[in-house]
Amino acid sequence: MASQSAPRPTPGSIEHFDVLIVGAGVSGMYGLYHFRQMGLSVRVYDGASDVGGTWWYNRYPGARVDGPGSPYYCYTFTDELMKEWDWEETQSEQSAVLAYLEHFADRFDLRRDIRFETWVKGASWDEATQRWTLETSTGERATGRYLICAVGALSTTNLPDIPGIEDFAGETYHTGSWPHHPVSFEGKRVAVIGTGSSGIQAIPEIAKTADRVYVLQRTAQYAFPAGNRPLTAEDRAEARASWETIRAKMYAHPGGFPADPNSRIAMEETPEQRDALYEKLWQRGSFRFFLESYADVAVSEEANASMANFVKRKIREIVRDPKTADKLMPNHFVMTKRPILENGYFEAFNRDNVTLIDLREDPIERFTRTGVVTRSGEKPIDMLVLATGFDAISGSMLRLDPKGRGGVPLKERWKERFHNHLGLMIHGYPNLFMIHGPGSPGVFYNMPLGAERQMGWIGDVIRHMQTRQLGAIEPMKASEDAWGAEVSALANATLFPRTDSWWTGANVPGKPRYFSAYLGGSIYYHRLAETASKDYPGFVFEPDCESKK
C-alpha cells in the first residue's frame, strides 16, 4: 500500500504546505480529508506502511473494538460512509476496523497526501516565518503554517524494565506493536505480562493453542462480558434508517455514545433492585453495563462497592479453583481503571494449560535466556507477550518533542504537568494543535467522533485567521492555568484519581502523576463552540508576517 503514498521529493529539497499532520490514524486521516475540503494543502506523515494508526499496530490475537462498538465507532460527517459499510459484529475485530479505515482512505483518495514509513523526528517553530518545520527519518524537510499532532493517545508502548529481559532468547512481542507476520502459539509455553484490555483480550485466544500460558498479573482487574454478537441485515437496516437520531444522540451524550444520558442513582434503590439491574446488563454485555446502570458509580464509594461486589461474585462463579479466584479479586474502585470488556477471560483460568501468577506475592526477579524467574522459581518459556500498555495521552507528544518559541522543547515545558488550553493548544507553541491530548476528553469519548469535532474547531480557527490575515495563535499562560484547574477539579470530584492507572500516569515510572483527561463530557464541545463564537478569548493572535511586509 505504501507505493500509493505521496511521492518522495528530491533529496535536499524542502516542501511547503498549509497544514502538516503527524499520524495517519483515525484522527489524522479525518484531518487530511477536512482540511483538503477547505482548499488547504496538506501533508501527513506516518511511520507505518499504511493508514490506521492504533488499528494498524494493535493486531494481537483477540483485538476488538470495545467502547461504543460497531457501527458507532465510526466517522459521522457523511451519511454515505455509514450507509455503504457493512459491519459484521457489534465488537468488530481489529481487521474489520482496519478494513473500514482503508475503505475511508480509498473512498476519498487520501493516500496521495500521506508519506508512509516516514518517522517525524523533529518539529520546530520559526518565529520569523510563522511556520513549523518538520524533519523526517528519511531526511525530508517540510514546512507548514499549522501543525496537527494526531499522534495517538495510546501509541507509545510502555516496556517493562525487568533484569535480564533483553537476554531472553525466545520470541518477544508487545501487543501495541504486534508483527504483521503470523504468530503461532501452537505447542509453545507463553508468558503474558499485563492484564489490562489488551492482555485480557489476548489471553483466551493464546490459550486455545498454546501448550502453557503463564499469566503474570500485577493488578487484578474487573472485566465485563463483551456481549459480542453478529449484526444482522435487520440490525444494519435499522441503524441506517435511524442514523439521524443516532448521530444526534452521539453528539449529545457525555461520552459520544448513542445512548440516553443516565441519571439513575444506585443508592436510591434496594440491593435487590441493584443486583437485578446488574444481572440484566451482565447478561446483555457491552459498555451498556456502565451506560445503563447508575450515574453515581464513579463518584460514590457505596455505589461503587455495589457494582464491584457484583462483579467479584461473578468472577467467583466462573472460576472453578477458589485459590485462583482469590488472586483474581480486584481491590480498587471499579471503573477507576479503564473498564475492560472480555470474551472468555475468566473462563480461561478453568483450562489446564493456564496458570495465574500473582506478582504481588510472587514477583518477577529476572529473565534468563529460556525463561522467567519469579520468587517461586523459574518457568521455562518459548515466548513472551508484553501486554504492558502505553505511555498514554501525553507520551506520543513528548516523543515528538516539538520545539516552540525560543527553541524550548516540550519535554522541558511539560516536566511537571502537561500544560495546555482546551486540551488543544500549548502556550509557547503557536499554531500547534493536539488531537486527543491531555486536557481533552480524548480517551473518555468516542474517539473518531471526538477527532471530527476537534478537527472541526481547528478548521474554524484557520478560517478565522485567514479572513483576518493572522499568522499565529497561541493560548495565554493564564488560560492554561485556569483550564488545568478545571480539569483537576472535575477529576477530583470523582474516584478516578484515587487509583493508579494509565489515566493518572502511574503506570510509567517518573511520569507526572495526575488525572489529565477532561471529564466534562460533551460540555467540552460546548466550550469549544463558545470560544469560537466569541472570537477566541484566552488566545492571542499575531498578524501574518507576510501581510506586514
Minimum distance from residue 395 beta carbon to ligand N01 (Å): 11
522 touches ligand N01 by CB under 6 A: no
Of residues 23, 47, 53, 67, which one binds ligand N01 by CB under 6 A?
Answer: 67
Of residues 155, 219, 304, 522, which one binds ligand N01 by CB under 6 A?
Answer: 219
Q: DSSP letters along 396-440, please?
A: HHHHH--B-GGG-BHHHHTSSS---BTTTB-TT-TTEEESS-TTS
538 touches ligand N01 by CB under 6 A: no
Closest to 394 in 3D by CA, of 454, 453, 435:
435
53 touches ligand N01 by CB under 6 A: no
Report 276-335 residues binding ligand N01 (CB under 6 A): none
Write the interaction track for ligand N01 spanning residues 324-343; mark x where CB under 6 A is met and - where it is not: --------------x-----
90 touches ligand N01 by CB under 6 A: no
Question: 337: which 3 cell numbers?
Answer: 481503571
Minimum distance from residue 204 beta carbon to ligand N01 (Å): 14
Nearer to ligand N01, 228 or 304 (CB): 228
- In the chain, the amino acid numbered 420 is N
Q: Are 293 and 262 in contact (CB under 8 A)?
A: yes
154 touches ligand N01 by CB under 6 A: yes
Closest to 487 in 3D by CA, of 503, 473, 501:
503
Of residues 27, 133, 195, 531, which one binds ligand N01 by CB under 6 A?
Answer: 195
Sign of the C-alpha dihedral computed for residues 470, 529, 494 and 394 taken in this order = negative
Q: Are 65 and 73 in contact (CB under 8 A)?
A: yes
Q: Residue 461 burial by CB count (10 A; 0-12/13-18/19+): exposed, middle or buried? A: buried
Write the interaction track for ligand N01 spanning residues 443-462; mark x where CB under 6 A is met and - where it is not: x-------------------
Of residues 387, 434, 435, 491, which one binds ligand N01 by CB under 6 A?
Answer: 387
Distance of CA 373 to the CA centre of its chain: 32
Pairing state between β 189-193 and 171-174: unpaired
- In the chain, the amino acid numbered 435 is I
Residue of this chain nearest to ligand N01 (CB atom): 196
Q: How many residues bind ligand N01 (CB under 6 A)?
A: 26
511 touches ligand N01 by CB under 6 A: no
Who's near 78: CB < 8 A, 6+ residues apart? none
227 touches ligand N01 by CB under 6 A: no
Distance of CA 242 to the CA centre of its chain: 28
Nearer to ligand N01, 24 or 65 (CB): 65
366 touches ligand N01 by CB under 6 A: no
- Per CB under 6 A, residues contacting ligand N01 are 64-67, 154, 160, 175, 193-199, 201, 218-219, 338, 359, 387-390, 443, 502, 507
